[in-house]
Amino acid sequence: MTTKPAAIATAIPLLPKGTLDALAIKNKTDKSSLQHDYMRFYEFILVPYFKEKFTLLELGVGIPSRKAPSFPCRP
């Protein structure tokens, strides 16, 4: 038996769009729900720390053959 993607989407609700997504849209980043839609995940993970002072390091990994923006492709 195969499960259709629509059935999965109704069984597992998406994380809600929140404050970080609104900021991402306002600042025209490709991480918003208008493009890559990472902000839902980021907000879900970071919400416990919203009132805390902390340092965050994000590392992007790209594939040189696809010229991914996270990877510095220099000759």
Q: Rounded distance, CA 53 to CA 42, Å?
A: 16
pLDDT digits (tens, 9 = 90+) for 24-55: 899 988 888 898 888 888 888 888 888 888 88
Please say if the pLDDT value at position 3 is more than 70: no
Residue 4 lies in a domain: no
72 to 24, 57, 68: CA distances (angstroms): 23, 18, 8
H or E element, residue 45: helix 39-46
Residue 1 lies in a domain: no
Distance separating alpha carbons of residues 18 and 41, to the nearest angstrom: 10
Question: Has residue 8 been placed in a domain?
Answer: no
Query: Which pLDDT does position 16 carry in this prediction?
Result: 72
50 part of a folded domain? yes
Domain interval for residue 49: 14-66
Give the model confidence (pLDDT) of 8-27 as tens digits.
445 445 667 788 889 889 99
pTM given for the model: 0.55
Specify the number of domains making up the chain: 1
